[in-house]
Structure 1
């Protein structure tokens, strides 16, 4: 039998699965609830000053350390700035840094992982050893070192976190590529004379993507924590711009006088981290209820 049709079957199966995966994710109760929480944070970040009750930067010394009240729902900080407005303003920074850094790491890690797994030999060894060097450093320590070298700022912090996460995506992409490298549908594509680049894009990448997507969904929460840690150390955005890490750093000095300065940003950070974690688990369940894809198993062609 002519094996050429097998080379076309893999992309078709991927296309037919997408609507089912989306609907199953929405039917996942905890996943759907967490998506709603993330959506609320996204709306708050997108609308910004349109819904913030006060200017998050403007201070009022007379109202310093005001406890939660009808006017200031989450109280004010040491400069009289509304804590609720600053928490809402910090949601934008948290979402931007986490999604951008993880997105950049996922794309680069996917590319180098697929290339290493498919090419093999010296190139695979070189890429793998480079990733092992990065893995030798604790995640937060490496992020602090890179961010300190690049300097404080939103872009530099995002690049530092992305660099730390690239080896994770590269390793899982390489592992998934090795699983499908000698599959029958790839052998059929080679026999049909399909160019290597086209074969990787149409047959290998779609089979690697489920594992990468699951890792990306799970990594967003830890990326948020990494940025909050950098901001806590003064390596985030410059004052007076609000972000949750710097708010925690400022509030620790007044935790006995105004505990709401710490509780509010910490609660927002934890809530968003938990939401992304649950969504990551839901994506993993939806991709494969038996958990095969999370282990790097190939999708049937």
Structure 2
């Protein structure tokens, strides 16, 4: 196999917090404009049970709402809540004029079907972008409300001046949350996309070709320095607890010496995801106002 040539220089850390601050600043301007017109966006979150991680993630999202001026509320259902109670809660939020976005915090208790609950959310309020209608629109090339982590990665690439057209992009992980929607977004921008997963043979032979590499496998340290093309842009979506530390799916210390730019964990893709959620909540409110006007 012929050696793949390098792309550019190496060693930049992609500061997800700084990029998220840019998204939030832009979103705050939009939220203020909506509020002046009497349509301040509102985000409603739903938690089922008392999962501490879920509670922490929701607090982070509500703090972001405070920063950009979005009204937020949380509905905390008991651990024993059944699917009917969840669906009834979603129906009530769907009908409320002051709620422009609804987010069902995952995971749900094991016996509950998240797909059924997600499908009950009004697609126009589905700020997480997981409703089948919104996913279908994404696949058709019409990006409305889309999954936030993939959107954050696309936004970061645009801010970094990376044009995806004609680029070799490799995604490790084919989840509905990151891998599949991100592949669609990259295809919409005319990248050549490969999606790898647990059944992929010789993973390194794929990752070494990537000009843009996104890793969302949930395997600590899966990607080593010798698996990365020199000068690639690497986005580490992994969040793993190892020895009391939070680490990603990429061996950061090795890859930073090879790649053009890498996201750290923590402080990389995570803050971007939250900021995009704010942007999409504003977008949902803008769409609603446009429908009223038109």
Common fold: TM-score over 0.5: no
Bin for the TM-score computed over the shorter chain: under 0.3
Give the alignment's TM-score, normalised by structure 1.
Answer: 0.23
Whose radius of gyration is greater, 1 or 2? 1
Query: What's the TM-score, normalizing by structure 2?
Result: 0.24
